[in-house]
Amino acid sequence: MKRLIAEREKARLGGGEKRIEAQHKKGKFTARERVDMLLDEGSFEEYDMFVTHRTTDFGLDKEQYLSDGVITGHGTIDGRSVYIFSQDFTVLGGSLSETNALKICKVMDQAMKVGAPLIGINDSGGARIQEGVRSLSGYASIFQRNIMASGVIPQISAIFGPCAGGAVYSPALTDFVVMAEKTSYMFVTGPKVVKTVTGETITDEDLGGATVHSTKSGVTHFVGANETEGILLIKKLLSYLPQNNLEEPPLAVCSDPADRMDEKLNTIIPDKPSIPYDVKDIIHSIADNGEFLEVQRQYARNIVVGFVTFNGISTGIVANQPNFLAGCLDINASRKAARFVRFCDAFNIPIVTLVDVPGFLPGSAQEFEGIISNGAKLIFAYGEATVPKITIILRKAYGGAYIVMSSKQLRGDVNYAWPTAEIAVMGPIGAIEVLYNRDLKAIKNPEERAKFVSDNATEYREKFSNPYEAAKYGYIDDIIEPRNTRFRIIRALQTLSTKKDVNPPKKHSTLPL
């Protein structure tokens, strides 16, 4: 018994007091502290505390540490079971060894068996060089399990330190990545290699910090000001997710009346179609208690995605953002939304789409970089999704972008429009310039030309670019008062709760990657 107690105490010290102190000086918690912060008190059951590496080369026989640089096991968050691994930077820089990888693979296998979310906390210098190919094979084994778990259990990666080289691909294969400002970074090749190969001088932060990955690359989905905030984000995210793909998301307790109206919604759309507004004001207005967990907040800001609840029902939101690029769909926005839609569909989370989109972003840069195939990803995601899909057209829904944003023809279940909706092949002014091209060429006076366009655009809007035309053909199920939007969504979700929609049998789809 005495030996057991002593060995446990030794394991809990990781790389020792000095290295723990060094970790704290960097503004970082230890692997065990992170586990304790994340899980319900007293719920953690640890696996493989007494595992050590098997390598004797390069002096490693003299550096043996219990747990071998990663803490693994299971516990609960808000009473719900989760599996977890947390890399320990105080032990050989958290480097991945053969035995370290085997520990991680064990909890991944267990998470799949019982159908529970997997959380990986990354803080590692990468592969343990002294172990060579055995370390690399460890990464490959982890990647394979990430792939098999995809769409079966939710996988969340927290980056709370370095994550470099091959290590970055496990988080990239998971559903959500959380980073902390200034203390975490991800890159395939570090600043030293970049300097050697390209001559570019760059810092860890500028190459792969939280800001870079949340604004430019889109690799990370959430950024916390520190690790504490990052952990709170993980807990909040899990509250919207089911345990696995065979279960429904948890039903939250809701005190917000389902029939609550917001009069401000009736006047939130500006009179002039060219004037922007913040679509997040609408989301906060219609969601339970105004709460909205936005995903990838700083990336592709012309589209907004995230989680809300409607009368306690966990729901994914996809919304065009008129405040940025007029809400146009571009490459990044299409990819961002497509990935989110596919996640929601995989885990039985209904999708509400708020539409105000003038079209796809024009220009050679977008065409050369593949707006066609990237836009097709979003079409594919919506068309393939079998979860309940509710669409509300707020204002503009033009051309191909109308089709893409969960139109009735892409199996939208309930499609509503506000009275301010404009549904057409293109905007009124553009349409007049095409339809009356010859007449416009004959008008030499600029003022007369502008008046001609304006007068005919008004007529075009009245005849074609209004929701009543779409409703006449059944492409819109109803035109609703904006203030009633919350109630109409909730009633639609309740009605669609027993929806059954099945795709044809196939090995897998050939998504336009």
Q: What is the pLDDT of residues 333-389, one digit of tens each?
A: 999 999 999 999 999 999 999 999 999 999 999 999 999 999 999 999 999 999 999
Contact 405, 355 (CB under 8 A): yes
Domain match, 88 and 208 both: yes
Q: How many domains does the chain have?
A: 3
Average pLDDT over residues 408-416: 96
Distances, alpha carbon 164 to alpha carbons 122, 186, 187, 333, 480, in Å: 10, 5, 5, 27, 51
Domain match, 14 and 146 both: yes
Give the whole-angstrom CA distance, residue 394 versus residue 268.
10
- Is 297 inside a domain boundary? yes
Quick: pLDDT tens for 293-343.
Answer: 999 999 999 999 999 999 999 999 999 999 999 999 999 999 999 999 999
| Structure tokens, 446 | 């600029």
Active site residue 412: no
Quick: pLDDT tens for 38-48.
Answer: 999 999 999 99
Average pLDDT over residues 405-433: 90
Single out the residue of 110, 117, 109 nearest to residue 78, CA to CA.
117
For residue 250, the 8-state DSSP code is P
Domain match, 157 and 52 both: yes
Q: What pLDDT was estimated at residue 464?
A: 72
Domain match, 299 and 206 both: no
Active site residue 165: yes
Domain match, 52 and 81 both: yes
Q: What pLDDT was estimated at residue 434?
A: 81
Catalytic residue among 151, 166, 383, 399: 166
Domain match, 118 and 56 both: yes
Comparing 284 with 192, the larger pLDDT belongs to 284
Given a cut of 90, whether residue 184 has pLDDT beyond it is yes
Contact 122, 206 (CB under 8 A): no
Domain match, 273 and 349 both: yes
In this structure, what are the phi and psi dihedrals at residue 497, rounded to the nearest 5 degrees? -65, -20
Domain match, 225 and 84 both: yes
Given a cut of 80, whether residue 465 has pLDDT beyond it is no
Catalytic residue among 138, 165, 208, 375: 165
Contact 77, 238 (CB under 8 A): yes
| Structure tokens, 6 | 């002593």
**The Cα angle at residue 200 between residues 194 and 206, in degrees rounded to 5:** 80
User: Which DSSP string do the residues of 81-149 spell out, in sequence order?
Assistant: EEEEEEE-TTTGGG-B-HHHHHHHHHHHHHHHHHT--EEEEE----B-GGGTHHHHHHHHHHHHHHHHH
Average pLDDT over residues 40-66: 84
Query: How would you classify the pairing of strands 70-77 and 80-87?
Result: antiparallel
**Structural domain span for residue 301:** 263-426+466-498
pTM: 0.94
Domain match, 277 and 198 both: no
Q: What pLDDT was estimated at residue 94?
A: 86
**The Cα angle at residue 338 between residues 336 and 341, in degrees rounded to 5:** 110
User: Binning pLDDT at 50, 70 and 90, where does residue 93 land?
Assistant: confident
Quick: pLDDT tens for 70-85.
Answer: 999 999 999 999 999 9
- Is 254 inside a domain boundary? no
Give the whole-angstrom CA distance, residue 374 versus residue 387.
22
Give the whole-angstrom CA distance, residue 422 versus residue 339.
27
Domain match, 223 and 145 both: yes
Given a cut of 80, whether residue 118 has pLDDT beyond it is yes
Domain match, 230 and 302 both: no
Contact 39, 76 (CB under 8 A): yes
Given a cut of 80, whether residue 61 has pLDDT beyond it is no
For residue 387, the 8-state DSSP code is S
- Is 505 inside a domain boundary? no
- Is 64 inside a domain boundary? yes
Provide the mean pLDDT of the chain: 93
Lowest-pLDDT range of 58-62, 112-116, 129-133, 146-150: 58-62
Given a cut of 80, whether residue 455 has pLDDT beyond it is no
Q: Please report, to the nearest 10 degrees, the dihedral formed by the alpha carbons of residues 463, 466, 472, 474 taken in order.
A: 150
What sign does the dihedral 374-380-382-386 (CA atoms) show?
A: negative
Catalytic residue among 111, 167, 401, 492: 401
What stretch of H or E contains 319? strand 313-320
What sign does the dihedral 169-330-287-470 (CA atoms) show?
A: negative
Active site residue 166: yes
- Is 251 inside a domain boundary? no
User: Binning pLDDT at 50, 70 and 90, where does residue 270 land?
Assistant: very high
Give the whole-angstrom CA distance, residue 488 versus residue 414.
10
Active site residue 218: no
Give the whole-angstrom CA distance, residue 250 versus residue 81.
13
Could you give the percent of the chain with pLDDT greater than 90? 76
Average pLDDT over residues 124-144: 87
Quick: pLDDT tens for 230-247.
Answer: 999 999 999 999 999 999
Catalytic residue among 151, 312, 399, 400: 400
Give the whole-angstrom CA distance, residue 64 versus residue 60.
7
Domain match, 328 and 226 both: no
Given a cut of 80, whether residue 59 has pLDDT beyond it is no
Q: What pLDDT was estimated at residue 134?
A: 86
Q: Can you count the helices (H) and strands (E) in the chain?
A: 20, 17
Single out the residue of 144, 168, 149 nearest to residue 110, CA to CA.
149
- Is 249 inside a domain boundary? no
- Is 442 inside a domain boundary? yes
Give the whole-angstrom CA distance, residue 347 versus residue 245.
5
Given a cut of 90, whether residue 24 has pLDDT beyond it is yes
Q: What pLDDT was estimated at residue 360?
A: 94
Give the whole-angstrom CA distance, residue 68 versus residue 86.
11
CATH number at residue 213: 3.90.226.10
Contact 55, 64 (CB under 8 A): no
- Is 47 inside a domain boundary? yes
User: Which DSSP string do the residues of 274-304 spell out, in sequence order?
Assistant: T----HHHHHHHHSGGG--EEESTTSSTTEE
Q: Residue ranges of the alpha helices (H) in 388-484?
A: 399-404, 428-435, 437-442, 446-463, 467-472
